[in-house]
């Protein structure tokens, strides 16, 4: 449900078994269940619950009202701090990661009037939006990009091989608030042969240079490698820095096991592979 509708922050539901009813709250951090209410033996308490539900607005039911649904184009419009965005959430090129919990990353094409004016070097039809649920304890992706762009100025292996962050926004009211109150604590188009190897090599060299300079990507995988054509030159792009960390950050950030699982071919352990 969260991945199917980008404007949904959480869900509230009732589970009824015989004469017992439980309130279930769902969000990307997990599920919270209340104690059961016997609505035949404790009717007053159940009536208070129904009255509370009557007072709920769309926000209380889990809707992010910043997203305005455009039924004509089946898209969502945003206007925040003077920046206009139309998110083409039903576009055929939309990339969705379904799951009951986690980042629930959505990527889809975007059109805007302001961003192309502020960034004339970026084509209007080349803008995409990435909407996801980030861990609060983790270094934010925009902060990671600040460090990346500093490295770009001095590392030829990185320049031209990282995405251009045009704008970002963090919505308030994280899912952790309710837990604190309760005390609950890929390559876009297939390349083949030498073109594939060239784009892959550029991404790996970019990753190596960033690592040496103190930015640890931690999620290098085919889905996070892209490419574009700069005239006649093929440019590999190492994308998706929301799981990255900085060498200056001490200790683990967050409690989830995220990123791409480390892999080494078994052949490297054989005598021939030494």
Residue 1 reports pLDDT greater than 60? no
Beta partners for residue 12, in sequence order: 25
Q: How many residues does this entry show for the chain?
A: 274
Cβ-based neighbours of 256, under 8 Å, separated by 6 or more:
102, 135
**Structure tokens of 203?**
């991404």
Give strand pairing partners of 15: 22
Write down the pLDDT at residue 154.
85
Give Cβ neighbours of residue 238 (< 8 Å, ≥ 6 apart).
Answer: 161, 162, 203, 206, 207, 210, 217, 220, 224, 225
Contact 9, 62 (CB under 8 A): yes
pTM for this predicted structure: 0.63
Q: In the predicted model, is pLDDT for residue 152 greater than 80?
A: yes
By the 8 A CB rule, do 49 and 40 touch? no
Q: Considering only residues 124 and 30, tell me which one the structure prediction assigns the higher pLDDT.
A: 30
CB distance 100 to 126 below 8 Å: no
Q: Residues 64-116: pLDDT tens digits?
A: 888 898 888 888 999 998 999 998 888 887 777 666 666 778 888 888 988 88
């Amino acid at each position: 449900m969260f991945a199917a509708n980008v404007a949904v922050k959480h869900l509230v539901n009732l589970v009824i078994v015989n004469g017992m009813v439980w309130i279930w709250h769902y969000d990307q951090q997990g599920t919270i269940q209340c104690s059961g209410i016997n609505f035949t033996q404790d009717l007053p308490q159940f009536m208070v619950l129904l009255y509370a539900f009557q007072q709920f607005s769309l926000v209380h039911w889990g809707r992010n009202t910043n997203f305005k649904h455009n039924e004509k184009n089946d898209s969502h419009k945003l206007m925040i701090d003077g920046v206009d965005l139309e998110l083409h959430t039903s576009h055929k090129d939309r990339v969705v990661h379904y799951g009951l919990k986690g980042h629930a990353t959505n990527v889809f094409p975007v059109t805007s009037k302001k961003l192309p004016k502020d960034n004339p070097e970026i084509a209007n039809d080349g803008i995409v939006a990435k909407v996801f649920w980030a861990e609060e304890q983790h270094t934010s992706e925009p902060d990671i990009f600040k460090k990346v762009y500093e490295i770009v100025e001095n590392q030829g292996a990185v320049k031209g091989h990282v995405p251009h962050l045009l704008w970002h926004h963090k919505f308030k009211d994280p899912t952790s608030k309710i837990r604190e109150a309760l005390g609950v604590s890929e390559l876009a188009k297939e390349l083949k042969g030498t073109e594939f190897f060239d784009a892959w090599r550029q991404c790996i060299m970019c990753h190596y240079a960033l690592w040496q300079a103190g930015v640890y990507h931690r999620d290098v995988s085919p889905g996070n490698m892209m490419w574009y054509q700069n005239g006649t030159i093929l440019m590999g792009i190492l994308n998706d820095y929301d799981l990255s960390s900085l060498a200056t950050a001490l200790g683990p950030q967050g409690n989830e096991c995220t990123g791409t699982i480390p892999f080494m071919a078994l052949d490297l352990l054989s005598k021939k592979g030494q």
